[in-house]
Structure 1
Amino acid sequence: MIDFRYHLVSIVAIFLALALGIVLGSTTLSNSVSDTLRQQANQAAKTAQQARDQQRQLQHRVNGQEQFANVLSPQIVQNRLKGQSVVMVETPGAGEDSIEQLSELAKNAGAAVTGRVTIQKKLLDDDQQTTVDELATQLKADDVEFPDNASAYAKAGAVLAGALVTKDAAKSGREDAAGGAVLNGFKEAGYITSSGKPGQHATLAVLVSPATPYAHEGGGGDNDALISLASALDAAGRGTVVGGPSTSAQEGGLIAALRDSDAEESVSTVDVVDTPSGQVVTILALQNEMSGKTGQYGTGAGAGGYLPSPAPTAGKNG
């Protein structure tokens, strides 16, 4: 007869076997999982290092291309704007460096830079529209015409453009009383500031867009106001280019808004103006504008190419 002691020993043996199996099984499983995770971690580290190496190589290439453009840009643009003059128009939030570099490159291209007009944020405030309308109407010169059903900003754009640019070679480089009154009136209202002699009536204009899209309520209205100014400058002079960084071609940006408007047909844009090569493209775009050719250049949505193709011939300035 099997006694109780035998049953007890059997039960203990069974539990010991189970415990041993669990320990051995979990140890084997743990080692297997650890090996798999270790392999995956090593592969991820290798992939990340490869990505860093590729990024470093691409950055070296970009740096080299920009150095190439920066060193050779004065030669590339030489005489492309000979006999012309350019006024720089700065919008609220525009990059200071881009404006200075574009001004120097325009001079290298043979153009005179009459000066800079800086648009103040106050001009774009919604509660200023009535005042802007009244001021533009009051300062309107006899040779300035308002578009049909013109908004306050379309009127302001026409009046400012008449004071800043011209198609008339005889008027270029000269200040007049009407233009001076316009600039002084907008200065006294706190709508603009200026440096140099922008009232000398340039033949071309560059409007530099905000680096960051206007995200606040009414940002679309701000873009519309600046597009009205760019269109007026283009109509009153021999051509206008709106330049900005890549962010200006993103949703809410001025260049994105312009490319989605009727102004796209007449005003050129460059969405890489914060780079040396983009600044060269801006000069080429101005040269094309003088020949009646409008284009959208850069890398953002709506760009037809990085630069005009074919590029305008050096020494031909329309």
Structure 2
Amino acid sequence: MIDFRYHLVSIVAIFLSLALGIILGSTTLSQSVTKGLQRQTAALAKSNEEHRRAEDRLRTQVEGDENFARTLAPQIVADRLKGQSVVFVETPGASNSSIEQLSGLAKNSGATVTGRVTIQKKFLDDDQASTVDELAAQLKPGELAFPSGAGTYDKAGAVLASALMTRDGANAGREDAATASILGGFRQAGYVTTSGKPGQHATLAVVIAPSSPYVSESGDTDNKALLSLAAALDGAGRGTVVGGPTTSTQEGGLLAALRDSDTDKTVSSQDTVDTASGQVAAILALQNEMSGKTGRYGTGSGVNGYLPSPVPAAGGNG
């Protein structure tokens, strides 16, 4: 007869067998999982190394392309803006190095650089709008008429443009009393600073966009104010290009705002102006502007190409 002790021993033996099976099974499974993870780790390490090498090759290629463009840029742009003059407008947050490099390239193209106007952040401050409006009305030349429905920065842009730009080559390089008064008034108010002789009426203008998008609540208003200035410069001269780095095409960036506005129809844009090749493209865009051709150039969404196509003929300055 099977007693209780036998049942107890049998039950204990069963549980011991189950426990031993679980231990053995988990050990085998653990080894299998470990080996699988090791294989995946090795594969990922190999893949990462391949990506690193590819990145190094791409970086070397980009550096080579940039060096190539920088070396040949003076020859490529030679005489393309001969007989013209260029004024540079620096917006708050723009790259000084881009302006210096592009200014040198403009001289290589045969143009005279009249000077630089740096827009101060105060000019865009919300609490300055009424003062800007009053100053524009006070400094407006008698022959300048504001468009119907012009806003504060439309007026201010038109007044500044009248002091900086001309369509008549005979007037280029000349500074008059009205120009001196306008620039002096904006400087005294703390809205601009100047270097060189920007009052000597240029035929072309380059506006350098901020390197970082405006992210404040007034960012959209600030961009619209700067676009009003760009449009006024273009209307008063023979052409304007707004240039910036690729970051300026991001939401809140000046180039993004330009390409989403009506000003895009008359003012060209270049979104890699912090590179040697982008600076060449900006000079070519200025050359096209003199012929009434406007375009979006660079690598951003919706561009017409990296540079104007067909490339305008060397020496053809409109």
**TM-score w.r.t. length of structure 2:** 0.97
Query: Which residue does the alignment assign to 1:120?
Result: 120
8 Å CA contact 2:84–2:169 kept in 1: the answer is no
Q: Distance in 2 between matches of 1:29 and 1:116?
A: 72
Alignment of 1:20-169 (within 5 A): 20-169=20-169
* Counterpart Cα distance in 2 of 1:5 and 1:155: 106
Where does residue 187 of structure 2 map in the other structure? 187
Alignment partner, residue 196 of structure 1: 196
1:212 shift after superposition? 0.7
- Measured against aligned partners, the alpha-carbon deviations of 1:229-278 in whole angstroms (never above 9, x if no partner) come to 00000000110000000011111111111111111111000011001100
Task: Quote the Cα distance in structure 2 between the aligned partners of 1:13 and 1:136.
Answer: 100
Deviates most, 62-71 or 137-146: 137-146
Secondary structure of 1:220's aligned partner: helix
Q: Which amino acid aligns with 1:179?
A: T
Partner Cα distance (2:297, 2:88) in 1: 19
- Greater alpha carbon shift after TM alignment, 11-20 vs 137-146: 11-20
Partner of 2:229: 229
Q: CA RMSD in A?
A: 1.3
Q: Which amino acid aligns with 2:93?
A: G
Q: Within 2, Cα distance between the matches of 1:226 and 1:99?
A: 17
Q: Which residue pairs with 2:263 in the alignment?
A: 263
TM-score (norm 1): 0.97
Range 38-47 or range 59-68, more displaced? 38-47
- Equivalent runs, 1:238-277 vs 2, <5 Å: 238-277=238-277
d(CA) in 2 for partners of 1:271 and 1:309?
16
Once residues 179 and 5 of structure 2 are traced to their aligned partners in structure 1, the CA distance between those partners, rounded to angstroms, is 117
Give the partner amino acid of 1:61. Answer: Q
Partners in 2 of 1:8 and 1:186 — Cα distance?
102
Deviations 1:46-96 (A, max 9, x none): 222222222222111111111110111011101111111100000000001
Q: C-alpha offsets along residues 101-159 of structure 1, whole Å, 9 cap, x if unaligned? A: 01000001111111000000111111111111111111111232211111110011010
**Equivalent-residue separation in structure 2 for 1:11 and 1:262 (angstroms):** 87
3-state SS of the aligned residue for 1:113?
strand
Does the 8 A contact of 1:234 with 1:267 survive in 2?
Answer: yes
- Counterpart in the other structure of 2:293: 293
Distance 2:291 2:142 in 1: 28
Tell whether the 8 Å contact from 1:256 to 1:302 is kept in structure 2 after alignment: no
Partner deviation per Cα, 1:153-181 (whole Å, 9 max, x = no partner): 00110100010010111110011000010
State the Cα distance separating 1:4 from its structure 2 match.
5.5
Match of 1:314 in 2: 314
Cα separation, partners in 2 of 1:5 and 1:259, compared to 1, 3 Å? closer
Question: Separation in 2 of the partners of 1:41 and 1:271?
Answer: 40
Distance between the aligned counterparts of 2:307 and 2:67, measured in 1? Answer: 18
**Which amino acid letter does the alignment assign opposite residue 212 of structure 2?**
T
Q: Partner letter of residue 117 of structure 1?
A: V
Paired letter, 1:188: Q
Aligned length: 318
- Partners in 1 of 2:134 and 2:12 — Cα distance? 102
CA–CA distance in 2 between the matches of 1:7 and 1:259? 87
Query: In the aligned structure 2, how far is the partner of 1:302 from the partner of 1:25?
Result: 60
CA contact 1:256–1:301 (8 Å) conserved in 2: no
Q: Which runs of 5 or more residues in structure 1 are unaligned?
A: none
Moved more, 89-98 or 4-13: 4-13
Is the contact between residue 85 and residue 202 of structure 2 (CA under 8 Å) also seen in structure 1? yes
**Which residue identity lines up with residue 280 of structure 2 in the other structure?**
V
- Report how far residue 38 of structure 1 moved: 1.4
Output the CA distance in 2 between the equivalents of 1:209 and 1:6.
91
Deviation of the 1:12 alpha carbon: 4.1
**Is this contact kept in 2: 1:250–1:301, CA < 8 A?**
no
Match of 1:206 in 2: 206
Alpha-carbon shift at residue 2 of structure 1 (Å): 4.0
Separation (CA, whole Å) in 1 of partners of 2:298 and 2:77: 18
For 1:174 and 1:158, locate their aligned partners in 2 and report how far apart those are by CA, in whole Å. 18
Q: Distance in 2 between matches of 1:170 and 1:10?
A: 114
List, as ranges, runs of 4+ consecutive aligned residues in structure 1 with deviation greater than 3 Å: 1-13
Structure 2 spans left out of the alignment, 5+ residues: none
